[in-house]
Amino acid sequence: MISEVRHKAALAQEAAATMNRLSTEQKNTALLHMADALLTEQTAIIEANGLDLARGREQGTSPSLLDRLALNGERIEAIAEGLRQIVALPDPVGELLEKFDRPNGLKVEKIRVPLGVIGMIYEARPNVTVDAAGLCLKTGNCVVLRGGSAAIESNRKIVEVLKNALAATDMPAEAIQLIEDSDRASVNEMLKLNGLLDVVIPRGGASLIRNVVENATVPVIETGAGVCHTFIDGSANYGMAEEIAFNAKVQRPSVCNSMETLIVHEAFAERHLAALAGRFVEAGVELRGDEKSRRLVEGAKPATEEDYRTEYNDYILNIRIVDSLEDALDHIRHYGTKHSECIVTEDAANAERFVQEVDAAAVYHNASTRFTDGFEFGFGAEIGISTQKLHARGPMGLPALTSTKFRIYGNGQIRG
């Protein structure tokens, strides 16, 4: 018997053939229908979500996870508004990227086309179900959704609502598929569905992403892990450096673009580190330091090799003192995950060298690493932040969900 995963991916692949013929207007109409339907059906959605929440509470799920899972009228309104924002974004499909004539008379065009069918693998956040569907459909893709089993009732109802909404539009309802099988095996089957899935995008914690990267034979866009650094150079403006470092750690420690290690030039450290460290401690940040910094920062624990490699996503910060820009670059090369890195300095040559040499998706001079984000970059919604170098790197806007195609027009050319 054919599995649920294979069956639904095949339905999506079939629908994909008609998706790339839809105009921008047809796609936007469908997205607006979806947004309206979420509001009309919000009572039913909140009811289904209640079942997930009750089961979660029974199973002793942590309050923070329950909070991520919970839906109410306000949150559904925000999710619907997300779809309307996607409507407002320019449609990348059909964009002419290159056009050239060859000496033999062939006319070649390179245009943007949908990727085809995108597999989304994520955790128990029902908002991702709608966001991902909206972004994929806007770019003419079909989507196979596999959310965490803790949100299954919510996702089932949401996808039912979205598919019903599509029935009144030109977009095939089969463009959205939800995998309901909660067994981990259904994820692993998706990962090997070459020919039916064109790409898999994981969104979630480190272990979810590791499983996808390690087991997928379908091409993957890896998103996630960030061990981000802020380097305060000897010449940094003290006030600016303090604000940037504090913001990078404390404004939202749980996200991938927050700072995990503060690197400080010794000239700066001697005059200002104790004060800055005090501010972190006041904000509830646990400090771990190298030998030099522990002489200046009272109460800091020793930082281990392992600490320097860890994405805490929490109120914990490593501090390291260096005596040159080179040492800071070395540390970042050695321990960084190539996500977001920052130098705070008034020295233009040091800034340029840092920005040039650091190999990361986003490199900052005098600004917080927290800006690595699709909304902050002005891309509108984002499908995630790519931490790989292939296809897309950093915050991914709609073009990251497209591929290209060459169209070649001739008048009988053959190869000699």
Judged by the rule CB under 8 A, the positions of this chain that interact with a copy of itself are 16-17, 20-21, 100, 102, 106, 108, 113, 115-116, 194, 198-199, 213-214, 217, 219-222, 237, 240, 243-244, 246-248, 251-252, 333, 355-357, 359-368, 370-372, 376-378, 388-391, 393-394, 403-415
Nearer to a copy of itself, 229 or 393 (CB): 393
In this structure, are residues 99 and 180 in contact, taking their beta carbons and an 8 Å threshold? no
| Minimum distance of a copy of itself from residue 380's CB (angstroms) | 13
The CB-of-41 to a copy of itself minimum distance in angstroms stands at 34
188 or 366: whose CB is closer to a copy of itself? 366
Residue type, 117: V
CB of 390 to a copy of itself, least distance (A): 4
CB nearer to a copy of itself: pick between 291 and 352 = 352
Q: State the nearest-atom distance from the C-beta of 97 to a copy of itself, in Å.
A: 11
User: Half-sphere exposure of residue 410, counting CA atoms within 13 Å on the CB side?
Assistant: 10
- CB nearer to a copy of itself: give 93 or 137: 93
> Smallest distance, Å, CB 93 to a copy of itself?
11
Q: Which CB sits closer to a copy of itself, 194 or 304?
A: 194
- CA nearest 156: which of 137, 139, 177, 138? 177
**CA torsion, points 72, 77, 80, 86, in degrees to nearest 10?**
-130
> Least distance in Å: CB of 159 to a copy of itself?
25
Nearer of residues 177 and 257 to a copy of itself, judged by Cβ: 257
Could you tell me whether strands 176-178 and 142-146 are parallel, antiparallel, or unpaired per DSSP bridges?
parallel
Of residues 132, 187, 177, the one with CA closest to residue 15: 177
Enter the tokens of residue 322.
């260096």
CB of 395 vs a copy of itself, minimal distance in Å: 8
- Closest alpha carbon to 189 in 15, 7, 13: 7
Give kind and range of the element (H or E) at residue 38: helix 24-40
**Which of 247-250's residues contact partners 24+ apart within 8 Å by CB, and which partners?**
247/368, 247/370, 248/342, 248/368, 248/369, 248/370, 249/280, 249/285, 249/317, 250/280, 250/283, 250/285, 250/315
Contact (CB, 8 A) for 121 and 384: no
282 phi/psi in degrees, rounded to 5: -60, -35
Output 106 or 168, the one with its CB closest to a copy of itself.
106
Nearer Cβ to a copy of itself (296/343):
343
Q: Which is nearer to a copy of itself, 67 or 357 (CB)?
A: 357
Q: How far is the CB of 217 from a copy of itself (least distance, A)?
A: 5
**Cβ neighbours of residue 183 under 8 Å, at least 6 residues apart?**
none
Question: Of 100, 112, 107, 177, which is closest to residue 140 (Cα–Cα)?
Answer: 112
Least Cβ distance, residue 226 to a copy of itself (angstroms): 14
Give φ, ψ of 387 to 5 degrees: -110, 15
Dihedral in degrees, nearest 10, Cα atoms 386, 391, 397, 398: -140
Residue (44 or 283) nearer to a copy of itself, CB: 283
Structure token digits, residue 394:
């950093």
Rg (CA), the chain: 24
Task: Extract the tokens encoding 328.
Answer: 């800071």
Comparing CB distances to a copy of itself, the nearer of 126 and 204 is 204
